[in-house]
Amino acid sequence: MAVNIELTYGKKLGLPEYSSHNFSVSLKAEVARLEDVPGEVERVYQILQASVDGQIVNAGFVPGQEQPAPAPKNDAGNDSRPWKCSDKQKALIVKIVAENKLDRVEVEQLAVSRFGHGVALLNKLEASGLIDELLGKTGRSSTKKTGAFRPFEQRRAA
Amino acid sequence: MSAQSTVFRSGSLDESKPGDPLAYISASRLKSFLACRLKFYFEKVLGLKPPASPALQVGKAVHAALQSYNLARWRGGDASPAATLQAYDKAYGELEAAEPVDYGDSSRQDSIDTGSRVLDAFLGSELARDPRRVLGVEAYLRKESGDLPLPLVGVVDLVVEGNVPVDYKTVAATPNLEDEGWQHEVQLVAYNLLLRDATGEEPGPGELIYLVKLKSPKAIRQVLPPVTQTQVDRLKALADVYVDGVSREDYHPSPGMSCRWCSYRTQCAAWAGSKARTTVSLAA
């Protein structure tokens, strides 16, 4: 018998002048057995937390500020949010996802699984690992002259 | 690099092919240039490649196996000794096919067995069961220039929890740890700068894991002292020396102990103070 679970993760952050903003995301999932619930909850929690953290950094209108903060775009491929990795890494991740028609949710899950947070929050070290893994999954090697984007035998130093 | 050690991938980039020496600096480039500018010119600028030695071949294949092992641990793959040794055999064959190995008087099978034994010793040791979370395997890092004259790049064998860089060294004899720490300072300071830039955090002290190719192989871990500001300043000063020398194409031999195992002695002998004459001679 399938078991349906519904999970919600939310966060409330304080803003200047005694104000705050909060954001929550809910998700429904189905597992085959009751024993699978803890594992699924752990997995979904990571996804939800990464999703909320990735968005809540955009505070929008903040009391006391003259201009409202720009609203973020929803399209991850044209994401204007600041990423923690380098611009080149961001561009490469977006390119790999687009060219290989990868599921963005799965890529986000992969980042959460490996590093504990979503793609936009990966630092340069973590982004390097994600890029390596994405290229491995897509069976491609980069044409860039960089070690991490090529198989071992092409990466050795003299 | 010490006489007894076989360090293959201090930069671990594809530096076996000729490239613009002013495009970036790496620990490998810096060490090569500082050890002998003419050897650096032959190796990194012209891309001359002597046949691989058996020790180099074993070291590369062992590193490939360790990469496979650490990736499997990180990504939930098969990290069993059997799978790791299989990765070693596969890498050994592929590397040999890509680049000829000069076995000289030694046996090919002995070389293969040496690598298998040292891997076995590592996999059976506590070092292979490091409980720290893996943060990166063969992690390519690049720090744009700013406080350095050129971008700094490097590939770290393994990064574990605490942003600790770990580098594997296959060595022929039990290392003198004090000497080794000194020999690998440039590499580990470079890793410190790269990780600091990549994570925005202060990296943990670097670690070296020596895989000692004795008849009874063993694995030894060395935790180096935290990198000091003096070491960072020293690396930056050495990078300035590199850029200055390379910009002027100041490549001259540095006769010394390391000439004993240098593969470029024939080409070196043609050098007579003129870069043009050297180049003509090499082309001929």
Please state, in angstroms and rounded to a whole number, the distance separating the CA atoms of residues B254 and B260.
12
Dihedral sign computed on CA atoms, order B151, B47, B1, B276: negative
pLDDT band at B6 (very low <50, low <70, confident <90, very high): very low
What is the average pLDDT across A20-41? 81
The residue among B46, B92, B95, B140 with the most chain A CBs within 10 A of its CB, best to mutate, is B140
- A-B CB pairs within 8 A amount to 97
Please state, in angstroms and rounded to a whole number, the distance separating the CA atoms of residues A113 and A8.
19
Average pLDDT, chain A: 75
H-helix segments, B159-209: 177-183, 185-199
* The two structure tokens encoding residue A36: 């699978």
Q: List the single residue in B10, B91, B155 with the smallest CB-CB distance to A147.
A: B155
Spell out which residues of chain A touch residue B12, defining contact as CB-CB under 8 Å: 147, 155-157
Please state, in angstroms and rounded to a whole number, the distance separating the CA atoms of residues B137 and B158.
5
Spell out which residues of chain B touch residue A155, defining contact as CB-CB under 8 Å: 9, 12-14, 138, 155
First to last CA, chain A: 59
Average pLDDT, chain B: 89
A153 vs B19: CB contact, 8 Å cut-off? no
pLDDT tens digits, one per residue of B25-36 = 999 999 999 999
- Using DSSP, state whether A79 is helix, strand or coil: coil
pLDDT at B83: 97
Among residues B60, B81, B184, the alpha carbon closest in space to that of B128 is found at B81
The percent of chain A in helix, strand and coil, each rounded to the nearest 5, is 45, 15, 35
Spell out which residues of chain A touch residue B200, defining contact as CB-CB under 8 Å: 84, 123
Q: What type of residue sits at position B72?
A: A
Q: List the single residue in A86, A125, A133 with the smallest CB-CB distance to B159.
A: A125
pLDDT band at B17 (very low <50, low <70, confident <90, very high): low
Q: List the single residue in B28, B74, B140 with the smallest CB-CB distance to A157.
A: B28
Per the confidence metrics, is the pTM higher than 0.80? no
Among residues A121, A125, A123, A130, the alpha carbon closest in space to that of A57 is found at A121
Element (H, E) at B155: strand B152-160
Alpha carbon of residue B166 to chain centroid: 12
Please state, in angstroms and rounded to a whole number, the distance separating the CA atoms of residues B136 and B18.
28
B77-101 burial string, b = 16+ CB within 10 Å, else e? eebeeeebbebbeebbebbbeebeb
Higher pLDDT, B246 or A49: B246
A148 vs B197: CB contact, 8 Å cut-off? no
pLDDT band at A157 (very low <50, low <70, confident <90, very high): very low
Pairing of strands B164-171, B207-212: parallel
pLDDT tens digits, one per residue of B190-200 = 999 999 999 99
pLDDT band at B276 (very low <50, low <70, confident <90, very high): very low
What is the average pLDDT across B80-85? 97
What is the average pLDDT across B103-119? 94
User: Residue A155 pLDDT more than 50?
Assistant: no
What percent of chain B stands above pLDDT 70? 90
8 A C-beta contact, residue B60 and residue B98:
no
B14 vs A150: CB contact, 8 Å cut-off? yes
Alpha carbon of residue B77 to chain centroid: 26
Higher pLDDT, B134 or A42: B134
Among residues B167, B180, B169, B176, the alpha carbon closest in space to that of B207 is found at B167
pLDDT tens digits, one per residue of B156-190 = 999 999 999 999 999 999 999 999 989 999 999 99
User: Residue B231 pLDDT more than 70?
Assistant: yes
What percent of chain A stands above pLDDT 70? 73
pLDDT at B97: 92
Interface predicted TM-score of the whole assembly (ipTM), two decimals: 0.77
The residue among B7, B13, B169, B192 with the most chain A CBs within 10 A of its CB, best to mutate, is B13
pLDDT at B255: 94
Spell out which residues of chain A touch residue B197, defining contact as CB-CB under 8 Å: 124
8 A C-beta contact, residue A117 and residue A111:
yes
